[in-house]
A and B are shown apart, each in its own frame.
Chain A
Amino acid sequence: DAKTTQPPSMDCAEGRAANLPCNHSTISGNEYVYWYRQIHSQGPQYIIHGLKNNETNEMASLIITEDRKSSTLILPHATLRDTAVYYCIVRGTGGFKTIFGAGTRLFVKA
């Protein structure tokens, strides 16, 4: 599975959009980009995933660049409850191992 690079931490004002970047320059053609988040002392929670098209669900939007070497998770209206560590991972459909890096610690401030 490809490795990802994320900034260690970010701040966001409550009510504003939070844009979390992720680099995955070694991603291969059959690997998806997945985003999870982990609130303190809980198990990670799935947010969204995509292959090459932009995706949106009730939680977030995922923007993947045309060359697929990077992506951005967008929380359109961040709330205090969105404060968490956000993990970007890439994984192929045939892979059984999901590698989580250190993620980005997002602080949403009032």
Chain B
Amino acid sequence: SQTIHQWPATLVQPVGSPLSLECTVEGTSNPNLYWYRQAAGRGLQLLFYSVGIGQISSEVPQNLSASRPQDRQFILSSKKLLLSDSGFYLCAWTPGATTEAFFGQGTRLTVV
């Protein structure tokens, strides 16, 4: 069966520090991968999605970037965090031919 792993679960980082969040999917190949951010009490904002290795689409201009170095690995990064980058970050994947999305458990990032 397919599983998605996302870590760390919580993270506290100072302003100006770098960020790297990792997401991996097991049990499938060539998944579509997504990064979302959720502010407190709000809906999910799509940040990036990827349909293949090295293929990244950005939905919202921001202080973040994403990379897909391997088929089932998706990384969210920042060179210098801002206070506004705080939030709940979720990784998700979908099979290429269907649209049901499977989510990781999320990373709660607090920038101080």
Contact = CB atoms under 8 A, between A and B. Distances in A.
Contacts of B106: 41-43
Contact of B99 (A42, A98, A99, A103): A98
Contact of B43 (A32, A49, A87, A93): A87
A46 B101 contact: yes
Given A41-B106, A41-B108, A100 B44 contact: yes
B7 interface: no
Interface residues of B, number: 27
Say which size band chain A's interface belongs to: 20 to 34
B100 A34 contact: yes
The main secondary structure of chain A at its interface with chain B is: loop
Contacts of A96: 32, 49, 51, 57, 94
A102 interface: yes
B46 A99 contact: yes
B34 to A, nearest CB: 7
A45 B4 CA distance: 13
Contacts of A34: 99-100
Given A44-B44, A92-B99, A93-B98, 13 more contacts: A41-B88, A43-B92, A44-B90, A44-B103, A91-B99, A96-B49, A97-B46, A97-B49, A98-B34, A98-B46, A98-B92, A98-B99, A100-B43
Interface of A: 32, 34, 36, 41-46, 49, 87, 91-93, 95-103
